[in-house]
Structure formats: structure tokens, C-alpha cells
Amino acid sequence: MVAEGPHLLLIHTAGDPHPYTDRLRQRGYRLSLIKKRPSTADRVCFDQVVDFDYQENLHHALDLAAGLHRDHSLSGVLSFSESGVIAASLVARHLDLPGNPPRAALRARNKYLMRQTLQQAGLPTPPFHLVRTASQIHALLREAGQPMVLKPISGSSSYGVTRLTPEHSEAQIASRLDDVSTYIREYRQHNPQYPFEFWLPPQGLGIPAEDVFSPEEDFLLEGFIPGQQFSVDGLACGDQITCLGVIEIERIRDSAYFMEYEEWMPTRLGPEREHEIQQVVTQAVRAIGLERSCFHCEVKVNPEGVFVLEIAARRGADNISDFLQQVLGIDIYEEGVRLACGETRFYPDPRPRCCMKMRYFLPPASGKLEAIEGIEMVSRDPRVSELEFEVAPGDQVLTPPEGYEFLGYLSVRGATPEEAEAALEELYSRIQFHIAPALVLQAR
């Protein structure tokens, strides 16, 4: 089954690709994929699939992409997944196709380089430090005299992010640091793509050695920013930055870990405050240097201003694409593809047409998942937009600090925020997870 039209190369894909690949193929795109250990769904959804670990041998990945380009001319290269954005930028540069500059892609993956870049651009930035040892962290906490946040130098979804205070002893900090390092190592062993990785590309590919750090040894310690959290997805097209609305985020309260719990769109802020957020995000995206991709930016807002937490050179994960489709009528996957093909994309003022709310399912305890109840009943409800699960019966589930993953999420829509809220409260409670405690748990 070969579609006529532009030929796209994707570097890695996560989850079930059917929803967006089906739409793209219907629009005439031909799709190829380079991925380590592609799934059965990948092989069905893509016209051509190359099973290769691009993170281990970048030179050969460039050769593979060049071969695809030579045999079936490529129109663009992109990645919708965190672990593929740097490789996609390098491949695009190698083939002289549209894309982000490699160093900009790296700044969107390395939290320390990102902090440096935003500070140099004059944007509000908390104190931050590159750290390796518990003694360093302990001394910096005592000097700051207030809580700080320890993060892996890369990664996504708040995996491994923890809050520390000056009251923590050096031994307690060492234990936390060891927990995060162990989690990263275990994650690397058990997942085909490694979202914490930074590898050193060969010379001449646009990324100098001083910009590359070890995700298992280097960590970012930064000042804790109080306030409400929000995210903004959008499009970088040369100097033209489009912000596609603002999403409000609620994280678990009274916890040392920063796992998300709920999101809703539109926010409760009002147009003026949302516009202020979008202005700061636009400045940050330009500072990072993104030129041709989707982006996902998270910020915190408090009386002192808007603080950028992170920027990713990809579309937002989980429910974000569905939120944008339902609320604004924008297909973020197609927008990313059209940007990768060199098209000009710009939405001056998209208007919301409904309200959405989402809540993650978080493991109540560590153990073995035995069953999930209520799936069929909830999925039939017309108010449900998405019901997704990351686990299945038989899987081991872990709570922090051994694990940071979600069980899944439920996303619903309503004509008003009140309708969406009521629907979520009603339907969320109908999904029940049965978890058998385990005496000994091994991290995944």
C-alpha cells in the first residue's frame, strides 16, 4: 500500500501510531520510519520501516536516511517523540531538508543548556546549578536556605524530578540521588528508546563536545518556583511563532514528586493573562532557536511573572493533540508534517469551540496489576474523548521513587468548564484498578 504525495521520514514513534498515520495517509503522505525494535502496529502503519538503533550509530542512521532519500525522495524529516528530536534535526541537516538547527534541538533536550539560554535572553530564571554529588547539592541547599528541585539533565514527564529542602541531610540527598540514578539505569535497560540520553555525535554534525552531558551523572538543581503551572503548544516557522492556546496543569499536591494529575483547556485565567503567557513563550522559543517544528512549553505563573520551566521541540504528549483537535480544530500532527515539508504555517488567533478536562490514573500502590474494571462502560459514553492505558493486567506498577509512570488517563469534553468537570468526576470513578501487593519489587 503506497500512497502518492510527499514522503516523510519519522525518527521513532511512541504508542499506537494508527490515529495520526491513518489521517496522514488519507491526505496522501507516504510515511517511512527509523526505529529500534518497531512494533507490529508500526509495520502496519508505515510504508517502510527500518529497524535500527539510531542512538547507537548515528553515522549509519544518516546513511540509512540518505539511502531512503536517494531511492524515494524525502520531503521532510521529523520526530513526534522526545528521544528522536535531536536525531531528526541532524538527519534533516545532513539531507539539506527543513528542520531545527541541531544545537537548538539539543537546547530543547538539555535542561541545563536550556536554563543558560533563557537566562542569557533576559527571561526570568530561577537560580540553577549543574551538580553531580550529594555534597554539592547539600551545600547549595544550605546556601539557598529554601527548597530546590533536582532534575535529570534530560528526560520528560517529570520522571525522576524531586523536591529537596535545606532540612534534608546529605545522606537523605544521597539516597534520593541514588533513587533517580537507579531509575534512569533501569529505564534504559527496559525501554527500546531512551528519553534521558545524550550521545556525542561525530565531529562536523553541529553539536560540540562541551554541549554533551551524561544523563546518569549530571543533574540540574534549580530554585523551586511557586505558582500555577500551564503549558502551551505551538508552531515554530522561521521567525513566526504561533501559540495554540494555553492548558492549565494541576500536579499532585503535598508530595516531593512532581507528577501531573489534571489538565484543562481553556484555562480559568482569562484572555489577558493567557496572552501574557504566550508572549513569554514566544520569546523563549526564539531564544532556544527553534525554526521549524511543533513545540511544547511548560511555564509557572505567580505574582512575580511568567517563568519558563521547559521547552520541547515536539508536539505535547498524551492528551495534548486531542485537546488541540477538539478545542481548536487543529491537527498538530499534520501541522508538524507540513512544517517539516517546508510549508509556512501560522494561526493568528484560534478560538476555542468547547471545553476539555483530563485526569491521569496514578498507581495507588506498588504491586502487580490484576485487572481494570469499567473500561467498556466508560468508553461508550459520548462525553469521553480519550481513554488510554499504559499498562495491562499482569504488569508491575510502581510508585515513586521506584517508578514515575502513569497507568493511563481519561479525557472528556463539555460545552462549558462545569460540564467537563462534572463528566470527569462521574466517569473517572468508574475505572477501578486492582493491584496485588508484591513482597519484592524489581524496578522496570
Residue type, 75: S
pLDDT tier for residue 180 given thresholds of 50, 70 and 90: confident
CATH number of the domain residue 397 falls in: 3.30.470.20
- What CATH number does the domain containing 48 carry? 3.40.50.20
Is 406 a member of any domain? yes
- Residue 263, φ and ψ in degrees, nearest 5: -140, 150
31: phi then psi, degrees, rounded to nearest 5: -120, 130
Calpha distance 91→419 (Å, rounded): 46
Q: Going edge to edge, which strands form the sheet with 396-397?
A: 396-397, 367-373, 432-436
Task: Concatenate the DSSP letters of all residues of 286-335 into one string.
Answer: HHHT--EEEEEEEEEEETTEEEEEEEESS---TTHHHHIIIII---HHHH
Residue 130 has pLDDT above 80, yes or no: yes
- Supply the mean pLDDT for the chain: 88
Is residue 210, in this structure, part of any structural domain at all?
no
What percentage of the chain reaches a pLDDT higher than 70? 90
The mean pLDDT of 345-364, rounded to a whole number, is 88
pLDDT for position 442: 47
Identify the bridge partners of residue 436 per DSSP, sorted by sequence position.
368
> Does residue 192 contact residue 89 with C-beta atoms inside 8 Å?
no
Residue 378 lies in a domain: yes
Q: How many domains does the chain have?
A: 2
The reply to whether 168 falls in a domain is no
Q: Has residue 444 got a pLDDT over 50? A: no
Q: What is the pLDDT of residue 11?
A: 94
User: Which pLDDT band holds residue 31 (cuts at 50, 70, 90)?
Assistant: very high
- Alpha carbons 178 and 200: distance in angstroms, whole number: 25
Q: Which long-range contacts (CB under 8 A, 24 or more apart) does 135-142 make?
A: 135/170, 136/221, 137/164, 137/173, 137/177, 137/221, 138/168, 138/169, 138/170, 138/173, 140/221, 141/165, 141/166, 141/168, 141/173, 142/166
Query: Is 327 part of a structural domain of the chain?
Result: no
pLDDT band at 255, cuts 50/70/90?
A: low
User: What letter would DSSP give residue 36?
Assistant: S
What pLDDT score does 443 carry?
A: 42
What are the beta bridge partners of residue 361? 408
Q: Point out the domain boundary residue: 72, 101, 130.
A: 101
pLDDT tens digits for range 302-323: 999 999 999 999 998 889 999 9
pTM: 0.86
345 has pLDDT over 70: yes
Host domain of residue 421: 359-436
More confident residue, 249 or 4: 249
Q: Name the 3-class secondary structure at 139.
A: helix
Residue 420 lies in a domain: yes
Q: Does residue 391 lie in a domain region?
A: yes
- Residue 247 inside a domain? The answer is no
User: Which of 53-57, 303-307, 440-444 tops mean pLDDT?
Assistant: 303-307
> Is a pLDDT exceeding 80 seen at residue 259?
no
Q: Give the lowest-confidence range in 11-15, 163-167, 288-292.
A: 11-15
d(CA 55, CA 65): 14
Residues 6+ apart with CB under 8 A from 237: 291, 292, 339, 344, 345, 346
Q: What does DSSP say about strands 7-11 and 30-35: parallel, antiparallel, or unpaired? A: parallel
Q: Of 257, 197, 226, 185, which Cα lies nearest the Cα of 444?
A: 185
Examine the fold and report which residue of 74, 101, 128 is the final residue of a domain before the chain moves on: 101
pLDDT score, position 194: 56
Q: Are 20 and 333 in contact (CB under 8 A)?
A: yes
Stretch 329-342: mean pLDDT: 94
Residue 299: which of 371, 346, 247 has the closest Cα?
A: 247
Please give the share of the chain, as a percent, with pLDDT higher than 90: 64
pLDDT at 153 over 80: yes
Rounded CA-CA distance 133/130 in Å is 10
Nearest alpha carbon to residue 47 among 94, 5, 89 = 5
Q: Is the pLDDT of residue 198 over 90?
A: no
For 295, list phi and psi in degrees, rounded to 5. -145, 155
Task: Look at residues 431, 368, 366 and name the one whose alpha carbon lies nearest to residue 395.
Answer: 368
Residue 275 CA to residue 269 CA, distance in Å, equals 10
Rounded to 5 degrees, φ, ψ at 373 are -105, 150
Residue 441: pLDDT over 80: no
**333 pLDDT more than 50:** yes
Widest distance between CA atoms in the chain: 63
Domain boundary among 81, 101, 121: 101
Mean pLDDT confidence for 16-37: 92
What is d(CA 312, CA 297) in angstroms, rounded to the nearest whole number? 6
- When pLDDT is cut at 50, 70 and 90, the band that residue 100 belongs to is very high
Are the C-beta atoms of 333 and 394 separated by less than 8 Å? no
**pLDDT reported for residue 92:** 96
Confidence of residue 202 (pLDDT cuts 50, 70, 90): low
Give the sign of the dihedral formed by CA 85, CA 87, CA 89, CA 91: negative
